[in-house]
Structure 1
């Protein structure tokens, strides 16, 4: 998949395209329904399939005080878009000046002149242009004016978890609540946080459960506080390496038993392994299920007893 950092980088010989646009944060099943439509039409008509996405998130530029934390970092998002089968992705730098484009100027610049789109696929709730004033009806009118077809993907993903659709809003809510089953259903994969392993307080090692502590600038939306079963993956290793993907018990939060911890952390103990030296390595931590909420223990012995139970539950769940 080609990755372009502006429309000017798109080669002239790419040919006409089937294109779409969006933040694609998380590249969840709702996004993939749109992307599947793009790639399917492109294959049928012998055209290139292209997505246009933005970095940083528009809300982070226009309203930084209420910008959502990204569900997935840009590199992960691009990898997921590649897995969707696209021929190319244009990552547009979103600026305040860019936000001033009218819907028509945005469409003409992006789909007409930039990508020579014969088909534009959008979600039913897509918004674009100045003040997000462009919508489905705007795109259809512009399609008639500039001679491209518009395909609208309706709502998808009625779920069994009380969530209405496969959307980024529903996904953020599930992750924040620690409902990893719902998050997995929306994503069709486990949610992931990635970051460099750094030194912590070393309490886990002292207690017999050495943990890989992720740096505070890790990428990916951190789930709500609690103890989880999941996986630690080491992308530095080959895919077939026995230590590439390892079962783990994961703690998220401030460790309330100890008063000197004020920063939320993500710590992963690789089950039954005390020999790993992961410091300085970038790892992926995947969340399968929440085992319990965080709690404050009256004694170190009570904490260690609970940690042993957590590890056993994680082992049983991940073994299955």
Structure 2
């Protein structure tokens, strides 16, 4: 499915494959279980109607336009979001450029121009709190009436709660990741939190200590807690390795303020420089600490690696999506 998935920027010149489809609308940052309820409803409708299902979303995240001084911790930048949407079974995603000018589009103009004119949507699915158009004038009731007038169906999905009865949201995921609780975050997401970046050359101190690492710079907006994690690492060729990763500023060896994700891959030798790779987080092992020299640091790194190996040996997929994404291989 991922090989045929279409990621299209803008709503004009939309490929025929993405037209006349069921359209699920939302920001879908995180593509968490609440989002998956909306997307699952769209997929069911698509099967019933015998048409494709696509997501309609916005880049950048609207909050970054309306609150430019507020750092937004993006859970799934557009490429990662597209990968997850493909794994769920969608045929593609249409990413509309979100600007202040676009935000002034009247709700009815958005419906008639984008949904009807550009996409020729056969059915639209949204969450219960979806608002759109100038002044947030559009809502599910507005959309339903427009659908009746213009000839497309509309479905609204109610809030999705977890097993404890708490509504699932991107905000909750961010709070868990900021606290380092990647296991709880995974339960909310329905898959292990994953980041992607290019592997870059470092100072190679880890190599001299017997722990060569793949270094990746995450966006400055990342609020993932600094510390040591049990992870799985996907190379550019798709192969997956268990590992232990440090995210932070390396206080024992340097204090220049640079934040890096450094992953030691178990049972691997090779050159990863320049490759776009992914790291999936399974467990928080400990906070980032400053040691009194390199010897105690190396001793702790050995302990961290042993703990990560043991933890990852018992991992099973959280569900079908987690398995499709390819990290939680039993």
TM-score, reference length from structure 1: 0.89
Q: CA deviation at 1:259?
A: 4.3
Q: Which moved more, 1:5-14 or 1:291-300?
A: 5-14
Instruction: Tell me the SS of whatever aligns to 2:258.
Output: coil
Which residue is 1:233 aligned to?
Answer: 234
Q: C-alpha distance in 2, partners of 1:230/1:216?
A: 15
Q: What is residue 309 of structure 1 aligned with on the other side?
A: 303
CA deviations over 1:81-112 (Å, ceiling 9, x no partner): 12222233211111221111122221222222
The answer to whether the Cα contact below 8 Å between 2:7 and 2:93 also exists between their aligned partners in 1 is yes
Q: CA deviation at 1:255?
A: 1.5
For residues 176-191 of structure 1, what are the structure 2 equivalents within 5 Å?
A: 176-191=178-193
Match of 1:271 among 266, 272, 282: 266
- Alpha-carbon offset, residue 277 of structure 1: 1.9
Structure-2 residue corresponding to 1:27: 31
Count of residue correspondences: 310
Deviations 1:253-303 (A, max 9, x none): 112223433111110011244x32222222111110000111222232222
Residue 140 of structure 1: aligned partner: 144
The Cα shift of 1:121 comes to 0.9
Q: Distance in 2 between matches of 1:56 and 1:15?
A: 23
Q: What do you get for the CA RMSD once the two structures are aligned?
A: 2.2
In structure 2, the CA distance between the partners of 1:20 and 1:296, relative to structure 1 (3 Å rule), is: same
Unaligned runs of 5+ in 1: none
CA distance in 2, matches of 1:22, 1:92: 11
Structure 1's consecutive aligned runs of 4 or more residues displaced over 4 angstroms after TM superposition are: 11-15
SS of match in other structure, 1:64: coil
Query: Which SS does the other structure have where 1:66 is aligned?
Result: coil
Paired residues of 1:39 and 1:49 also in contact (CA < 8 A): yes
Match of 1:158 among 138, 142, 162: 162
Name structure 2 gaps, 5 residues minimum.
315-330
Partner of 1:257: 252
What TM-score do the two structures reach when normalised by structure 2?
A: 0.86
Q: Offset at 1:314? A: 0.6
> Offset at 1:145?
3.5
Do the aligned partners of 1:214 and 1:265 also contact (CA within 8 Å) in 2?
A: yes
